[in-house]
Amino acid sequence: MKKGILVILILALLAVLWGMKIYNGLVSQQEAVETAVGNVQTAYQKRADLIPNLVATVKNYAEYEAGTLTAVVEARAKATATTLDASNLTEENMKAFQAAQDEMSGALSRLLVTVEQYPDLKANQNYLDLQSQLEACENTIANARREFNETAKAYNTAVRRFPANIVANMFGFDKKPYFEASEAAQQAPDVKDLFE
């Protein structure tokens, strides 16, 4: 009888240790997802921080583009006001964040197209530096989003695998959404005007 109780206690202890190991692994992966979210937001913030300098530089040359400059400033304000809460990553929150960032990307694209009409501005060293920094930011954003998606995939896989899914369900480890390409990015650009 004592031997049976000892076996049950040992099995219970092993089950607890197994559960702790899985739980701690899920916590580590959840923290990695939250870190990746922070990296994405930092990359977007760095881009947003360049906007005032870019707008000021363009404003000095392109005085007739007030509407475009206003759109960029408004899109920046909206994008910086929309943040992701790493502890509450839902598809809706992710879509709202991405929509605000896409709006800023669109406004920046329109601004950069407008700049093409101002050769003096395109030759300005300050503008060229800002444009280079902006391009570097876009690359950083793309890398941060890719790394987030990879981290979220590893976490989501761990949460769904058996038997870890039992522990995940018991302690509320939910699947995380991914960054998706914007609808504009999924369509090929119309380049026929470039050759006319």
Q: What CATH code would you report for 2-179?
A: 1.20.1440.20
Q: How far apart are CA 157 and CA 149, in angstroms?
A: 12
> Is residue 48 a contact partner of residue 72, using CB atoms and an 8 Å limit?
no
Q: Which of 131, 146, 184, 127 is nearest to 40 (CA)?
A: 146
Mean pLDDT over 160-188 rounds to 81
| Domain edges within the chain | 2-179
**Tokens at 144, concatenated:** 């941060």
Read off the pLDDT band of 71 (50, 70, 90): confident
Read off the pLDDT band of 184 (50, 70, 90): low
| Range name among 55-59, 74-78, 176-180, 192-196 with the lowest pLDDT average | 192-196
Q: What is the pLDDT of residue 183?
A: 58
For residue range 90-112, list pLDDT tens digits in order: 889 889 999 999 999 998 888 88
For residue range 51-67, list pLDDT tens digits in order: 888 888 887 776 667 78
